[in-house]
Every structure is written in structure tokens, then in C-alpha cells.
Amino acid sequence: MEKAEQSRKKSHHWLRIWRAFLIRLLLVAVVLIITVTALSGYAISKYKQDYYSNSMRVCDIMAKDFTEYNAQNPQLDLWQEYIPKSVNKVAEQMHVFLYVFNADGSCRIASSNSSIAAADLTLNNEMLAGIRKGGEYLTDKASGKIDHSIVEPMLTRGFTFTLTENGVEATYYLFGASYTKPLNLYTTHLFLFMAILSFTLLLIAGVLIFYQVWRGNSQLEQLEAALQRYAQGNYSQPIPVEQYTSSNLELIAALSAQIGSQSGRAEESSRQFVSNVSHELRTPMTIISGFVEGILDGTVPKNKRMEYLSIVSQEVQRLKMLVTSMLNLTKFDAGTIQLNYRMFILNDTAFRTILMFENRLEKRHISVEGLDGEPIRVCADPDLIGQVVYNLVENAVKFVNDGGTISFTFADEEDCWVFAVRNTGNGISKEELPKIFERFYKSDASRSQDKTGLGLGLDITKKIIHLHHAQISVRSEEHAYTEFEVRLPHVEPPEQEHE
């Protein structure tokens, strides 16, 4: 079964490579064929134009020479010697066939290299009409052949010239015909060269494309394997992003690596969160259970019961805040939490909160300042703001130094209510300050001082503050203090509060 699966994967691997290779190679071949055809067509057209122009230029020169010589020597009969001699000489030297036709299309002179006598040659109607209309004629078609006994393709060129004979101007047509063999040979060699060049380029492109496809497929399979590990919850092996540099998968690999890294941290944070929650729940429940059992079975003296019940009450409140935090966190993520605005005295909320930590403060000789300031009434959600106060106070109690001080500030400013909690201690480094409001984040210093904290308090605090359209800021100086300040905007109380 395992061998069959491996064979299937291997077949799929090569099938994907060949499919991608053939598609890319086909596209390159189409582009190459179009490019080669266009270049060949241009080269042939250019060569043909130059060849026609150069090979037949002699006819143009001869026609002009006949007219000029006649004008210079009007008494001479050029047909007796000059024209026939010139025609035969040029035809022999240039390897062309030359013919002189009368205005009616009958042939008057044919060069000596022609296989047909002049009396047997005439211009067809198409050629005669063409040269009469424009004064020139050019074609490489079979219909433009003068000597049809020649099988090979011919290039035919005609020019008009005039002679003055007995005071009368007469029109004649000088035609030249030459083989197109050089042009055909050039075309054949060009196509052969282009074919070899195309095959060579296609072969090189094929090798490069195959390597690229093979490399890209290997990278894709590695990325798929990494994503499968991530899907199975295994984040131990990160994706080597540097291997995908300058490839089509570079962005996907970077994003996948980022997702894997974040998921791995989230997984680790989740495990740590569950462990911390278990500890945070177990600790107050153990205290509550132990003290209640001690009261019930008479182990705790009557004169100590109120003290122990007070501790139980504090742990119940602590447990309540913990559960509320987790419930609110779910509501925040779902966006279903609702604000219940009421007027209340913020100083009283802070006072009740600090009492929950009374035993811990006494054991560490922590002094508290600022609770006896001028009371300020705020309009906000008392439960949620109470949780903010609890989180900030708990944070201050955790990180204040032994024998240190926790200070409260309350103020009613022009456009907002201000509440601040400050504790002496080690403080927070500048590098860690921007991160402390992130969920599950715990600074290096806090990890040693707060081994059971959930890393949720400040994240929840920030969300509650934003729900109130308020602001929270933190200031800290290492080895000196940390201070959190909340600014609640003035809000009109609900109508029932006025009543």
C-alpha cells in the first residue's frame, strides 16, 4: 500500500512537471515562430527590393542613354548599329535578356542571348497597358514573362524611352528579364539559417524551462509539505523563505512562513494560556475550599472565621474577575459586547479593588497613595471600567517592588476624566513598551515576576477603553516606575440618571 502511494505521488510529480514544461515550451515556440517569420519576411522583402533595384538599373540607364544619344546625334540612325550593339553588349555582361519593343508591342530587337527571334515576340495586353500607363513596368510573375520557353522564374523590368526620327518623336519600350535564382538562393539559405537558429534557441529554452519548472515544482512540493505540517498542528520546522527568493512562490512562501510563525506562537500561547487558566482557577478554589471546610468542621476558631470569610470573599471576587475576563474576551472577538452607561464614583471602584489585594500588599509592605483624593463621578459602563481598574491595579501589585508604592490619580479635566495608576519598581524597557497591549504578550521581566498571569489583562483593558472611545497610555522608566493613564471622554448620563 505504501509503495503504491509513493508510486502515485511520483507519477503525479512528473506529470505536473511535464504538463507545465510543455505549456511553457509551446508558448515559447509560438512566440519564436512568429518572431522568426516576421524577421525573415522583412529580410526577404528588403533583399528583394534591393535586388530588383540593382539588377534592373542597367535598363533605366540604357533607356536614358538612347534618348540622350539621339538628341546629341539626330542625323544618325541608332537602329543600324548603336542600339543593337549596346543591347547585345550589356546583355552579355550583365547576364540578362534585353528586348526593345515598338509602341504597338511588337519586338524590334532581341539580345543575341535570347533563344527566340524578335519577330516571334510581342508584349501581352497586360504588360503593354501597364507600361503605357506608368511609363515603367516590374513583375516577377509568370504573366510578365517575355520568353515563355524559359521555365525558371524571371524578373521583368520595362522602361519607356523616346527617339526623334525624321522630326517625329517615337515611343519605344526597353525590357530586361533576369533569372531570380540569386533571390531564391538567398531565401533558401535564410530559411535554413532561421530554422537552425530557431531549433537551437528552442532547445536552449527547453532546457532552461525544464530546469525552472523542475525547480519550481520541487519548491512547490516543499511548500505543500510545510503547509500540511502546519495543518496538522506541527509548527516546529519553519519554512526556509530564503530558498524561494526571486521565484514565483516568494510571496506565498513569505506569507506562509509568517502564518506558520504566528500560528506557532498562538499555539504555544494557547497552551500556556490553558495552563495558566488552570492554575489561576485552581488557586482561589483551593483557598476557598480549604477555608470553607475549616469553618464547617470547626478547625477554624470562631474569632478567626470573619477574617477567613473575608479572604474567601476576596478570592471569590478574584475568581469572578477571571471568569468575566475570559467571557468578555469572547464577546470582544465576536463583537457582541454592549455598553451600559451609568454614573458612578471612580474612586470607590479603585478602593474596592485595592481591598482585594490587601493581604498581598501587607505581606510585601506596599504603601498605597491617592485614594483619599477628591471623588470624581464618571459616566461609563461600571462593570467594564471596574475590570479596567482591576487589571491595572493587579498589574501594579504584581510588579511593584517590595516596600514600594502604588499611587492613584483622579482628575476631572475640561473634556475628560483622568484616572492613573503608578507603581514603583523595575519598569518596562523602551523596546517592550509598544508590545505590552498585545494578547498573551509577557515581557522578559514579567515572566520571572508573574509566572501564572494569562497575558490578557492589558489586551482586554485596551479593548474596553476603545469601546468607550477613550485613550490609554503608558509611561515607564527602567528601575524607577511604570504608570498607566486612562482618559475617559465626558459623556452625558442616561435620562434615568437625571431623574
Average pLDDT over residues 165-178: 90
Residue 254 gets which letter from DSSP?
Answer: H
Q: How far is CA 111 from CA 52, 87, 104, 115, in A?
A: 20, 6, 19, 9
474 bridge partner residues: 484
Percentage of the chain lying above the pLDDT 70 cut: 81
Please report the pLDDT score of residue 444 as a whole number.
47
**231-265: pLDDT as tens digits:** 777 766 777 666 666 666 667 767 777 777 776 66
| Spatial distance between the Cα atoms of 407 and 419, rounded to a whole number of angstroms | 11
Going by pLDDT thresholds of 50, 70 and 90, the confidence category of residue 346 is: very high
**442-490: pLDDT as tens digits:** 554 444 444 444 456 788 888 889 989 999 999 999 889 999 999 999 9
The 3-state DSSP class for residue 100 equals strand
pTM over 0.75? The answer is no
Q: How many of the other CB atoms lie within 10 Å of CB of 339?
A: 14
Compare 203 and 12 and report the one with higher pLDDT.
203
Q: How many CA atoms lie within 13 A of 497 on its CB side?
A: 13
Q: Would you mind telling me the total number of residues written for the chain in this entry?
A: 499
**68-114: pLDDT as tens digits:** 999 999 888 899 899 999 999 988 888 889 999 999 999 999 999 99
Q: In what order do the strands lie in the sheet with 367-369?
A: 367-369, 405-412, 416-424, 481-489, 471-477
Closest CA to 169 of 248, 52, 67, 85: 67
| Spatial distance between the Cα atoms of 100 and 181, rounded to a whole number of angstroms | 24
How do strand 367-369 and strand 405-412 relate by DSSP bridges?
parallel
The 3-state DSSP class for residue 365 equals coil
**387-408: pLDDT as tens digits:** 899 989 988 998 999 999 999 9
Cα dihedral value 165, 170, 176, 177, nearest 10: -120
Average pLDDT over residues 308-334: 74
**31-40: pLDDT as tens digits:** 888 888 888 8
Provide the b/e sequence for 57-72 (b: ≥16 CB within 10 Å): ebbbebbeebbeebee
| Spatial distance between the Cα atoms of 265 and 223, rounded to a whole number of angstroms | 20
Angle of CA points 141, 145, 148, to nearest 5°: 125
Q: List the domain boundaries for the chain.
A: 9-53+185-230, 56-179, 338-498
56-179 folds as Beta-Lactamase (3.30.450)
Please report the pLDDT score of residue 452 as a whole number.
43
Grid cell digits, residue 280: 489561576
Grid cell digits, residue 451: 509566572
Nearest 5°: phi and psi at 181? -60, -45
Question: Over 80: is that where the pLDDT of 197 sits?
Answer: yes
Q: How many CA atoms lie within 13 A of 142 on its CB side?
A: 5
Going by pLDDT thresholds of 50, 70 and 90, the confidence category of residue 135 is: confident
CATH number, domain 338-498, options 3.30.565.10, 3.90.870.10, 3.40.50.720, 1.10.8.50: 3.30.565.10
Going by pLDDT thresholds of 50, 70 and 90, the confidence category of residue 495 is: low
Average pLDDT over residues 352-374: 90
